[in-house]
Every structure is written in structure tokens, then in C-alpha cells.
Structure 1
Amino acid sequence: MQFKPHKYQQFAIEHILNHEVAALLLDMGLGKTVIALTAIRELMLERFEVSKVLIIAPLRVARDTWPLEIGKWDHLGDLRMSVVVGTEHQRKAALAAEAEIYVINRENVEWLVKNYPWDFDMVVIDEISSFKSYSAKRFKSLLKVRPKIKRIVGLTGTPSSNGLMDLWAEFRILDLGKRLGRFISGFRQDFFTPDKRNQQIVFSYKALPGAEECIYKLISDITISMKSVDFLDMPKCLMNTVEVSLSEKEHELYDKLKKDMVLAVGSEEIDAVNAAVLSNKLLQMANGAIYGEDKKVISIHDRKLDALEDLIEGANGKPVLIAYWFKHDLERIKKRFKVREIKESKDISDWNAGEIPVAVIHPASAGHGLNLQAGGSTLIWFGLTWSLELYQQTNARLWRQGQKDTVIIHHIVCKDTIDENVILALGKKNKSQDELINAVKANLRR
């Protein structure tokens, strides 16, 4: 297929070509993969500025999306790609293969740095947001070899899903601390103040007045952002909330766990040892089941399953994609409905071919980079997630360019439970992220 870049795509390609360090905050569906590959081809085969490229991506994106994209476009036919995934033997064989581009999943970055003599002069990080934790092994490993990298590109549509603090580690990898500082302590001191704390222990920070604008300005010289709705003829997207209500008895159980952090259901006792565990337990209860001792699943209610059945029937045979969070969600959904998990390449191709009426997907394993828009236009959130990044990325599997129908995203929300807090929190985080993206939004008339 011949690649005729849109104006915004050519602008993004030029941004990579003109910046040895580049951050592209590209909304889902804008074609960041072909943008990056086109820039790589220019740098490698036309300008001779780089000789060996490493792409770091989520596992399924590394295995499926990047190889599919390079084989899709005519102008990329003279680039060879080797996919470094699988067993250690398979990874070593892939690294030994002759290629211009090597693609590895982010979980194996530490292994690569430890076991391979580094000779990549360009690195592309697909979903730079996965390097937002400065304590993670992948961050520390890549930082060790960062001085050896001549060119680096960070791609994402969700740069600060949990707030501005995420940006420090991402840009520390990109520019070695030139813009936001070399140490997280200095970044906190300059732009944040302690928020929630217990004496000397600080649990969270909030931005100082004017900090957001200052941070955006510091990174603006290497950063561009683009939102799909500004450049694409995006399909209409309808958000719908389906409320379910607990019975009086079920709500008594929910309130007791929330208040006492200990709940007895029959002979089983459920103990929530801290606030994080309690939040997790309450989300499970809102979904209809909860883990007891030894991971035994204790059923509480079927309210969400009943609502899910109504939504599937209401789709009138149109394919439906269900997002679940807990394993017992999946088990209970499977027990009640005939569904198929989206996990492997065959599942993806069968879904896009319209051969799967009802599919289930876990946001953490399939949130990034998968093109599922050809298979359906209805997404149902059975269980919600606190992660804005996973939430937006999962929605973007269907709501993206190429989708021919109006996308309908249903959220099954258990009334008067933690579900309502999650929906509210996602809205607040989205506001903060939109402010970042708008602050560095590309002006194509420059």
C-alpha cells in the first residue's frame, strides 16, 4: 500500500527528523507507528544518521502491530525487522538475525541491557508512559545505556495518566534530566508540595500554583501533541452509564466491609488490611464477587451480569467487546455467556473478521496498540479501573480511524459504591491530561 501522509503526519515525521530527542503525544488512531517507521527509514537509508534501531513496546504491540505495519506500506519494504520476543533462545536468535530494526517487549529491556553488547544508536519507546516509574527495573536498565543512544523518540497518547509527577521519569529517560532535572527530589521541590501525609510520611503531592504551565513550557521544545478529533474524521462516540443497585442486604455487606475492613460471609472471613486492599475489595464487591482466603471466590450478587445480559441482547447480534478487571469477573462472565478472550494474534484477526459475537478483553494486557475497530463498535466496561491510561487505550481499540459505525461505550456502575468514585476520578485525571496535551499541541501552521 502506498503511504500518502496527512499533513499532521508529515509534521510529526519532520519533528522526529529535526530533533535527536523527540516526544510525540499522539492520540490513539493518528498512526504513530507508520510515522515513526517513516522517520526511521529517512534517517537510516537517506541521511545515514543511524545504523541500528531498537523499538520498545508492549508485548502484543511488539509481536503483532509493528511487524504488521512495516509489511503494510510499500515505502518500508527495504527495511528488515526482527521481533525479539518469546523464550530466551528465541530472543537470542532474533537478535542474531540481520535486520535494521529490532522490536522488543518492555519486560525484556533489563535482560537485553544485561546480556547484550549495546550497539543501538536509535531507540523508539512506544508508550513512554510505561517508563513513568523511576524505581522500575526497565527504567534503571535503559538509563544505564541512555548515554550510548544518539537518537530517542518517546511515543504515547497518555503521558500523565496519574498526574504531572509521571512526567519526570519519562523525560529523564528522553533528555537525561536536561528539562525537568536529574533527580526526582529536585522536581518535587521545584513544582510540588506535600498533600496527603502522616507526620513525616508523604503519601501524595499536589502541584504548586503555576507549576503546570512551567513544566509544559520546559518540555515544549522537544514535544508535540495531537488529538484525533482535531485531525481525523473520527466516528461519533457515545458514552453511556448503566446503573445497577444492590439489595438492602447486599448493601449492608458492602457497608460493613467499608466500615470495619473485615467481613464475614457465611463461614468465610474477608479481611482488608489497608486502604489500598479495601479499595480493591470494594471494587470486587461492586462487580459481584470477592476473593476470600486462599483465593476462594465468594459470590455476592449478579446485578452486573444481569445488566450485561441486557446489553448483549440489546446489541441485536452486533459484536460486543467486554472489558473485565478481576479474574473472577472473567470466570463468572464465561459461566453465563459464550465468549472468547482476545489474547493471541488469531483472536485479533478473527474478531476483526467479524467471527466473534462476544469477546472479552483485559485492559492491562491488551490496552495498547491493538486495532480492533473492524470487528465491532460496542464496548462494555463490566469492571472499572483506576488507570486513566488503560481506560483510554482500551476505548481507543474501537474508537479510532477506520471505525465505520458510531462507537458506544457502556459503563456498568454499581450505584452508591466505589464504582462512582472511579468514574469521578477518571474524569478528573482526564482534565489534567487534556491540559498537558493542549499546552504542547502542535501548531501545523508553524
Structure 2
Amino acid sequence: MKYKAHAYQEYSTNWIIDHTASGLLLDMGMGKTVSTLTAVWQLLFDYFDSVKVLVIAPKRVAEDTWSREAEKWDHTKNLRVAKVLGNLQHRIQALAEPADIYVTNRENVVWLVDHYKTKWPFDTVVIDELSSFKSSKAKRFRALKKVRPLIHRIIGLTGTPAPNSLLDLWPQIYLLDGGERLGKTVTAYRQKYFEPDKRSQHIVFSWRLKPGAEQQIYSAISDICVSMKASDYLQLPKRVDNVVELELNKSEQKRYKQLERDLLLPFANGDIVANTAAVLSNKLLQYANGAIYNENGEVQELHSVKLDALEQIVEEANGQPILVFYQYKHDLERIKARFKQARELENSQTIANWNAGKIEMLLVHPASAGHGLNMQDGGHIIVWFSMLWSLEQYLQANARLDRQGQKESVIVHHLVAKGTIDEQALNVLQQKAGGQEALLEAVKARLKEVAKHDD
């Protein structure tokens, strides 16, 4: 696929190239990965400023995102990516592979540093989700700190560098600049910019910023970080639509195609039966989500692909509130079971709590999020756990956050299971033709496609 960079992505890529230590602090869904890959490609093959690149990322991101993103674009598809993951033998084998980029999960940082000791080979290091290094006491921070003098170029990526307190910022910036901007120790940083808040005699329980300190901190790091608030520096779209493509495994794909073809999926405790196009559409959407009602009205769980993807988004959000739209009752129950912080929209008090920043994840059925609900003060991240056919519900639901008074660029994540009816539903919404007629036409077209392949 040909890469057509947005203006802010070009800005981000150039920022990385122009700074040997750089922080790219952009919201989710804005293409930090492809912007970084583009910069890495140029540093490797145009500027010859990098030779061996290490990417440190959350486990699921390390397993899939970087290699898939590299393969996706014409200009990066020839980058050789080795995954330093799994057991010891697999990690050692991956390190021995000739590659341009080596990707590992952050839990392996201590092992990796100990493995190489003073013979650290990576001249360029990318930390995907820099905020996971926010504790100066963590072993991963201390390990990376050891080899920081051996790293020529370092790139930190995150959307939320300090979601709880600006105290979290010191370890992250230290990894970028070795303490040049915010001080050599967290104690010096704290003494300069903070003062005791809650305390008991000599014991300080919390710290608050000194007057004017926040702006001083931002100013101190502004020459290496794109910005704490990307909207101050970049020409951002009002709303970012992000499609999160998810892969079902082979057995899950096989069962999905069987239901699609035979309108029947047998299970020991009750068959899944679809006898009309509308029923089949609902069953297939349920399957894509990971659970389905059988003929006895019981829930048959099938996979956790979307729950895993939602977990990754939650981790990247790093405490920022998330509005999740679901379609089926079993979606709601499964999300609540996985995410204990999730709250269901129940009444006006729930909305008040959301707008007051008291709810980290709010679960809403799109039919309950119609006209008149002002929720823009509570957050700017939306996740569509379930695809749907109603364009009106889709537009109205997104408008709960994407409306006048919203201070951030709204990010709308769509969890789409590849090779399923999710793709048709999203396409219908994008073509602005949602509704029952579009549903039937999409199902008919899909059934014809299935019949063609069977022939």
C-alpha cells in the first residue's frame, strides 16, 4: 500500500530524524508507528545514521503491530523485522537473525541488557509506550539506564506521558536525555518543581506542582518532544478514525465460514441456527465479537480477540477515559468480566460521573446514546467493540464526544475482525448507507461470494 502521510505525520518523521533523542507524544490512532518506521527506514538507508534498531513495546504490540505495519506499506515492506519474544531459545535465535529491526517486549529488557552487558549492539532504540518506564525504581528503567550511554539515537513514543502526575515524567525524559533537562535524579527534579501536599510530620504522602512549574517543565523538554499537547504544534484533524484489524485463528475462521455457508453451527449444548438474512447477519456479527447466542438462548463463547484488542487500547490510553460501544448483552457482560473498572451507562448520574472524570471506561449501547447526551467533558477516545448497521445510531453515538465543547481530537477505534461481516458493516457506515436495506444487500453479496468460492 502506498503511504500518503498527513502533514502531522511528516512533521513527526522529520522530528525523529532531526533529533538523536526525541519524544513523539501523540494520541492513539494518529500513526505513530508508521511515522517512526518511515524515519527508521530513512535513517538506515538514506542517512546511514542507524545500523541496528531495537523496538521495545507492550507484548501484544511487539508480537504483531510492528511487523504488520512494516509489511503494510510499500516503502517499509522490505525492512527485516526479527521478534525477540518467547522462550530463551527463541529469543537467542531471533537475535542471531540478520535484521534491520529487532522487536521485543518490555518484560525482556532486563534480560536483554544482562545478555549483552557492555557489548550492547543497538545504536537506535525505540520505546513504544514510553510511559511504561515512568517508575525510576522499576528494574526495566534501571536496566535501560545502564546502557543508555551506548545508545546513539533514542525515540520515545506515547500518547500519555504523565496521566497521573508530572512526577511520572522524570524517568521517561531521563532515558531520552540522560538527565540534561529535568535533572540527574528524581529527587532533584521533585525539589525543583514540586512541594509537599499531603503529609504527616516528616512523611510526605503526595506532591503538588509549584506555581508556574508545569509550564517550566513543558518548556524544558520542548526542544526534544513534539509537545505535551499535540494540538499546540500540529495540524490535527478534528476526528481520527482508526480501524483496528484483528485476525481470527484458523479454527475460528473455519467455524465462521461454516456458519456463513450452512447457516448452522453445531455445539453440544445447543446449535447456532440462522434461518434468514437478518438473523444470519446478527449471528455473524456476534461471532466476530467472540460470543453468540445458541438456539436455547445461551451464550456460546468463541474467542477473545476483541477483548484482547480492547485491553491493548486501555493500556495505551494509560488512564485516559474510554467510551466503549457494544451491541449485544453478552458483549457487555464479557467486557465487564475482563475490565473491573468498566461501568455501564445507567442514568444521568453516570453521565455526570463520566463528565467529572470519575469513570475510566464507560460501556454504552448506541441506542442509548442518542440526541441530547453531552459527554464531551469526560474524554475523547471511543471504541466500537461491535459493528452495527444503523448509520443514525453510529453518527449519534460518535457525536456524544465529537461535538461542540470538546477540547481534544476525538479518536474513534473500530475493532474489525478480518474476513468477517465486520468489514461489510464498516464499509456500509463509511459509505453512509446504514440501515436494514444495506444490511440485507451486504449479506446477499457475501453469500454470493461464499457460493462462488464453494464452486
TM bracket (short chain) = 0.5 to 0.7
Residues 162, 388 of structure 1: 8 Å contact kept: no
Is the counterpart of residue 137 in structure 1 residue 139 in structure 2? yes
Distance in 1 (alpha carbons) for counterparts of 2:35 and 2:310: 27
Residues 71, 78 of structure 2: 8 Å contact kept: no
Unaligned segments of structure 1, at least 5 residues: 237-315, 323-335, 352-358, 370-375, 410-429, 435-446
Distance in 2 (alpha carbons) for counterparts of 1:176 and 1:135: 16
Distance in 1 (alpha carbons) for counterparts of 2:12 and 2:240: 19
1:340/1:163 CA distance change after superposition, 3 Å: farther
Residues 321, 378 of structure 1: 8 Å contact kept: no
Match of 2:217 in 1: 215
Distance in 1 (alpha carbons) for counterparts of 2:21 and 2:133: 16
Q: 1:362 offset after TM fit, Å?
A: 6.9
Deviation track 1:282-324 (CA, whole Å, cap 9, x = no partner) reads: xxxxxxxxxxxxxxxxxxxxxxxxxxxxxxxxxx8766999xx
Is the counterpart of residue 384 in structure 1 residue 341 in structure 2? yes
Match of 1:39 in 2: 39
1:5/1:105 CA distance change after superposition, 3 Å: same
Residues 28, 396 of structure 1: 8 Å contact kept: no
Match of 2:75 in 1: 75
Distance in 2 (alpha carbons) for counterparts of 1:85 and 1:93: 10
Distance in 2 (alpha carbons) for counterparts of 1:364 and 1:70: 19
Residue identity opposite 2:214 in structure 1:
E
Match of 1:230 in 2: 236
1:81/1:360 CA distance change after superposition, 3 Å: closer
Distance in 2 (alpha carbons) for counterparts of 1:128 and 1:209: 27
Match of 1:206 in 2: 208
- The alignment yields a C-alpha RMSD, in angstroms, of 3.8
Scaled by the length of structure 2, the TM-score of the pair is: 0.58
Unaligned segments of structure 2, at least 5 residues: 243-281, 290-297, 318-323, 343-356, 363-377, 386-390, 399-405, 409-455
1:55/1:173 CA distance change after superposition, 3 Å: same
Q: 1:194 offset after TM fit, Å?
A: 1.1
Deviation track 1:2-43 (CA, whole Å, cap 9, x = no partner) reads: 111111110110000101110111111011110000000101
1:396/1:67 CA distance change after superposition, 3 Å: farther
1:235/1:378 CA distance change after superposition, 3 Å: farther
Deviation track 1:165-197 (CA, whole Å, cap 9, x = no partner) reads: 110010011100011001111111111111122
1:398/1:27 CA distance change after superposition, 3 Å: farther
Distance in 2 (alpha carbons) for counterparts of 1:57 and 1:86: 14
Q: Would you identify which runs of 4 or more consecutive aligned residues in structure 1 move more than 2 Å?
A: 225-236, 316-322, 336-342, 359-369, 376-383, 385-399, 404-409
Distance in 2 (alpha carbons) for counterparts of 1:234 and 1:142: 33
Residues 129, 156 of structure 1: 8 Å contact kept: yes
Distance in 1 (alpha carbons) for counterparts of 2:144 and 2:182: 18
1:362/1:46 CA distance change after superposition, 3 Å: closer
Residues 367, 390 of structure 1: 8 Å contact kept: no
1:389/1:62 CA distance change after superposition, 3 Å: farther
Distance in 2 (alpha carbons) for counterparts of 1:84 and 1:173: 21
Deviation track 1:272-291 (CA, whole Å, cap 9, x = no partner) reads: xxxxxxxxxxxxxxxxxxxx
Match of 2:181 in 1: 179
Distance in 1 (alpha carbons) for counterparts of 2:217 and 2:132: 20
Q: 2:311 aligns with which of 340, 351, 363?
A: 363
Residues 29, 240 of structure 2: 8 Å contact kept: no
Distance in 1 (alpha carbons) for counterparts of 2:380 and 2:299: 21
Match of 1:165 in 2: 167
Q: 1:162 offset after TM fit, Å?
A: 1.1
Residues 30, 240 of structure 2: 8 Å contact kept: no
- 3-state SS of 1:165 partner: helix
- 3-state SS of 1:367 partner: helix
- Indicate the percent of aligned positions where both proteins have the same amino acid: 43
Distance in 2 (alpha carbons) for counterparts of 1:214 and 1:19: 21
Residues 158, 389 of structure 1: 8 Å contact kept: no
Distance in 1 (alpha carbons) for counterparts of 2:96 and 2:361: 34
Q: 1:366 offset after TM fit, Å?
A: 6.5
Distance in 2 (alpha carbons) for counterparts of 1:23 and 1:155: 6
Deviation track 1:32-72 (CA, whole Å, cap 9, x = no partner) reads: 11000000010110110110000000000000111100110
Distance in 2 (alpha carbons) for counterparts of 1:194 and 1:168: 17
Residue identity opposite 2:326 in structure 1:
T
Residues 82, 102 of structure 1: 8 Å contact kept: yes
1:393/1:93 CA distance change after superposition, 3 Å: farther
Distance in 1 (alpha carbons) for counterparts of 2:359 and 2:180: 28
Deviation track 1:226-268 (CA, whole Å, cap 9, x = no partner) reads: 35993264359xxxxxxxxxxxxxxxxxxxxxxxxxxxxxxxx
Residues 130, 157 of structure 2: 8 Å contact kept: yes
- 3-state SS of 1:71 partner: helix
Distance in 1 (alpha carbons) for counterparts of 2:360 and 2:189: 23
Residue identity opposite 2:315 in structure 1:
G
Distance in 2 (alpha carbons) for counterparts of 1:50 and 1:387: 44
Residues 366, 394 of structure 1: 8 Å contact kept: no
Residues 363, 390 of structure 1: 8 Å contact kept: no
Residues 129, 170 of structure 1: 8 Å contact kept: yes
- 3-state SS of 2:236 partner: helix
Residue identity opposite 1:100 in structure 2:
D
Is the counterpart of residue 155 in structure 1 residue 103 in structure 2? no
Residues 325, 383 of structure 2: 8 Å contact kept: no
Match of 2:348 in 1: none
Q: 1:82 offset after TM fit, Å?
A: 0.2
Distance in 1 (alpha carbons) for counterparts of 2:381 and 2:310: 12
Deviation track 1:326-362 (CA, whole Å, cap 9, x = no partner) reads: xxxxxxxxxx8444553xxxx3xxx5xxxxxxx5777
1:18/1:361 CA distance change after superposition, 3 Å: closer
Match of 2:295 in 1: none
Higher relative contact order (Cα pairs below 8 Å, separated by 6+ residues): 1
